[in-house]
Amino acid sequence: MPVALEVAQQFASGDGKEAVVCKGFLMAFQGHAGYDAIVSAAATIDVLVVMHPILRVHDKTCEDASVEARFAAEVRDTLRSLLRDGALWLQQSSGTLTHSVLKALSTVNIIAPPLRGYK
């Protein structure tokens, strides 16, 4: 993430179509709303990763309904732990995209506007 932001800042400092697109990208991710959007997107992806096994099972023709029920119960329990019980924010979930994004956000200054060279 920090590299992508640096590249976007370099392109935004120029002229032309790329500069306009990069300025818009950088402006969309500043301030509290930008922080919320990035972290929400990461958490949503983490939820979809957890749900992936049940979606794959559902896509296949499966004669044994207990297999689907077992997967559904595992996914339900994992989602309950991550979302309702807040495990997504704890150290035990450090391998999630949400944690990676939070770590990346702590190393770059994209929260406090204005960004370097912008008004």
Instruction: Give the domain ranges of the chain.
Output: 2-107
State the Cα angle at 83 between 82 and 89, rounded to 5°.
60
* Six-digit token string for 1: 């993430």
| Listed residue (48, 34, 23, 43) closest to 116, CA to CA | 23
Residue 118 has pLDDT above 70, yes or no: no
DSSP symbol at 115: P
Question: Which range (27-36, 67-76, 83-92, 103-112) has the least confidence?
Answer: 103-112
Instruction: Identify which of 42, 44, 53 has the alpha carbon closest to the alpha carbon of residue 97.
Output: 42
* Mean pLDDT of the chain, nearest integer: 75
